[in-house]
Amino acid sequence: MTLSDVVRMLQLLRTEVSQYMVPTIYAAEPWSPSSEALVAWGSLKGGLPPEAAERRMVRLIEVEGAIALLKDRYFELTVAHRYGELCNLLIQLVVVRNSSP
């Protein structure tokens, strides 16, 4: 599965926290629409789930956070099937968010 595939089905994914675990997107670096990616339960305390660690992926963002970051553009870009652009936007927003103090 690629990051583009994950973003394509973003609205269908669970977002609620369960037992201090949250649905999280993990992707191989360097991040791009074609990066290998998966969604797994991530700990709010940090660390990688085994399936992400085995593939040498890193945490990108929680599913709920991705939906929140893309909310203004998600519908417009998915209707136009512009998933690569949507992935690149998500990556840019995550990088900016992570570099803010």
pLDDT tens figures, 5-35: 999 998 888 777 777 889 999 999 999 999 9
- The residue behind tokens 């660390």 is 47
**Domain tally, the chain:** 1
Q: Name the pTM for this structure.
A: 0.91
In the predicted structure, residue 37 carries a pLDDT above the cut 90: yes
Residues spanned by the domain of 34? 3-99
Distance in angstroms (rounded) separating the CA atoms of residues 59 and 75: 24
For position 100, what pLDDT does the model report?
Answer: 76
Q: Which of the residue ranges 9-13, 50-54, 63-67 would you say has the lowest mean pLDDT?
A: 9-13
Q: Which residues contact 5 (CB under 8 A, 6 or more apart)?
A: 37
Nearest to 22 by CA among 67, 55, 77: 67
